[in-house]
Amino acid sequence: MQNNTILITGGTGYIGSHTYVELLKHYPNNNIVIVDNLSNSKIDVIDAIKNITKKNDISFHNVDLLDKDALDNIFKLYQPYAVIHFAGLKSVSESISNPELYYKNNIVSTFTLLEIMKKYQCNNLIFSSSATVYGSGKSPLSEDSPIGIGITNPYGRTKYMLECILQDYCVANEKLNVIALRYFNPIGAHSSGLIGENPNDTPNNLMPYLLKVASTNNKQKSFGEKFDILNIFGNDYETNDGTCERDFIHVVDLAKAHVSALKSLTNLKHYQVFNVGTGESTSVLELVHTFEKVNKVNIPYKFQPRRVGDIAICFCNPGRTHSALRWKAGYTIENMCRDAWKYQTTHIK
């Protein structure tokens, strides 16, 4: 009889925590184990997950994937049949200033994971990839679009390199099944307001920064002078309003995509890759105005010069994901803005 354990690396992070909640709905009898070194998350996420799921016996291990012996012990204990691999550093700016950290952490830790998986004959992996692998590609981006061209930062290159590595591993090991999910721009939070995006350092992504600006300017909580105003980088792009357009996806929709991928692993053999997005683009300014309207708050902003490496428009063609994984995004931009603000106002004190 196959072991029913699913291992989630980076499981207390933003996407990992939401995926745990969705997995438990579909796999209530499975043992879902979280491994995380808490480098960009907090231990109280475990209590929040318990509150949402009403499950008090969550298996959590504070372990860094670079610690091979500790990871080996976890595999020895649980013998998982599948791994969902979220763990990895993800700040674009930090990767530019400290590329060694990103190449060592993101790539070497995955090598360690693959080595231990092979040792314990765990042959199913869902990998957290990113739309950054498309570099400067022209939207709408399909899975057949060129990758690895025009990637502007080490973070994106680690995702591209890892996709290449995983594909090579699947060629070398016919028993290994890998699904790489290329995320577009996850935002939002769980409808309970108990889990959401709360980076330990200064936010690098738009929504968590916007949330702190909204909070600071609407008498919820002040996060300091640097959050007095939202900086929008570039208003002279060839888009409808001059600001960048992105494919924003609700984090719960993204979590559900991992459940669909896990269910499809037995049918989709070897290496497979899928876009996870809505297939629609929303400008930065549209997102700001939607947030203001939905939540009845004021977001002061000012335009800054373009950032190096930003492209004007990035959105996906999710058709292959719809047909092969039987998954489709269901939440709107309004849902994303409302749920993100609920998390900010109820959880971030």
Q: Which residues are catalytic?
A: 155
Please name the residues in contact with 41: beta carbons below 8 A apart, sequence gap of 6 or more. Answer: 10, 12, 13, 14, 16, 17, 198, 200
Reduced DSSP (H G I as helix, E B as strand, rest coil) percent helix, strand, coil of the chain, to 5: 40, 15, 40
Task: With beta carbons less than 8 A apart as the criterion, state whether 125 and 83 touch.
Answer: yes
Distance CA(6)–CA(205), nearest Å, equals 29
Please name the residues in contact with 182: beta carbons below 8 A apart, sequence gap of 6 or more. Answer: 129, 130, 131, 133, 134, 143, 273, 274, 275, 276, 316
CA 42 from chain center: how many Å?
A: 16
- Can you read off the two tokens belonging to residue 156? 């994106």
Question: Among residues 161, 325, 27, 110, which one has the least CA distance to residue 19?
Answer: 27
- Can you read off the two tokens belonging to residue 69? 């012996």
Distance CA(107)–CA(159), nearest Å, equals 9
Three-class SS of residue 117?
A: helix
Give the residues across from 282 on adjacent strands: 246
Element (H, E) at 15: helix 14-26
- Can you read off the two tokens belonging to residue 18? 């939401």
Distance CA(338)–CA(254), nearest Å, equals 17
Question: Among residues 106, 278, 323, which one has the least CA distance to residue 187?
Answer: 278
